[in-house]
Amino acid sequence: MKKNLKSFKDKKRHIVVAQNYFGGRNIKEINGADIEDYLFSIEDISEKTRANYKSSISDFWKWCHKRQILNLAQMPFFPDIEFELGYRNITDLETQRKIVDKIYEMTYEINPKIWFGVELLSTYVNIRPGDLLKLNESDVDEINGVLTFRYPTKRKNKLKTTRLIDEHIELLKELKEEFPALPHILFFRHHGGMKGIKPNTVFGPKYIRLKWNAACKELGIEGLDLYGGTRHTTTTEIARLAGTENARKASAHTTNKAFDRYCQFQEESAFNMAKIVKDECKKGEVKNIKDFDKKDK
């Protein structure tokens, strides 16, 4: 079973629903038709969620077989549940930059790392929001401009690195100097000045997303979540500027099926793609991060 808290809660819910349906029946007496009836008796859920319920009980039966509670002949069939993942809403680089700038305006004096996290997500498409929250101070190399992600989201290997462009290296150096900490301390954390939050408390899993949503609300933008507005939008723009193959490599997707959901319109690396994105932002009226004068905070 997956060890993260959200997955555990989901699995627990799936198990409870199955227990309520089957009651005290012996699993050796439950066949594939019973399982199919159970899965399609669950109301008001998407087919993707129904497939998740199926996966949970399938894992349970496989565990029972592995433990020799059941033999192979007693393993039931599990029905096919077809679903198609939807596309997230995306935007353009100009609108994305307006949102990032609004987050700067709303949060920089409170904690510049809130904005910096969104800035990274909107530039480096191989970084996921969950990856940021795992960064220790020792994983942030401000000298060479490299972020090291240990146990990154949805990666079979246990290490991923992202090379930063020059302007982000300078910002990183400033943040490390302003907020020094021991190597094991998480980088994205609170630094005081907020009622009810102790200094060095780490960002919660929804914290950056809530700031993104607040900025969108201020700008009158609806239906654009953090993932769609940063990673998906930038991936699509990279495909437009540098081709879909470069976009796929930059986003670190290994399959076209997964990538196609991101790209709705590194070899080149995520680093080179980040430079392309930043150069494109500088062409128009879109403000670049250096346009902000920290003295006017």
Which domains does the chain possess? Answer: 5-74 (no CATH), 93-296 (1.10.443.10)
Cα distances (Å, whole numbers) of residue 202 to 134, 155, 182, 197: 10, 23, 14, 10
User: Which residues are within 8 A (CB) of 297 and not within 5 positions of it... i.e. 6 or more apart?
Assistant: 108, 109
Reading the block at residue 247, the tokens are 């976009």
Render each residue's pLDDT in the chain as its tens digit; 297 residues: 444 555 678 888 898 999 999 998 998 889 999 999 999 999 888 888 888 899 999 999 999 999 999 888 889 888 888 765 555 688 888 899 999 999 999 999 999 999 999 999 998 888 888 889 999 999 999 988 899 988 766 555 677 888 888 899 999 999 999 999 999 999 999 998 778 888 889 999 899 999 999 999 999 998 899 988 998 888 877 776 655 555 455 554 444 444 344 433 333 456 666 777 777 776 654 333 334 334 343
What's the pLDDT score for residue 201? 92
Q: Which residues pair with 159 in a beta bridge?
A: 150
Distance, CA of 82 to CA of 201 (rounded, Å): 42
Question: What pTM did the predictor assign?
Answer: 0.61
Taking each helix axis from N to C end, the angle separating 47-66 and 32-39, rounded to the nearest 10 degrees, works out to 150
**What's the pLDDT score for residue 6?**
57
Token reading at 127: 């970084």
Rounded Cα distance between 232 and 272, Å, is: 17
Q: Write down the pLDDT at residue 256.
A: 44
Residue 183 makes CB contacts below 8 A (sequence gap 6+) with 136, 137, 138
The CA-based angle 224-230-235, given to 5 degrees, is 115
Q: Are 98 and 288 in contact (CB under 8 A)?
A: no
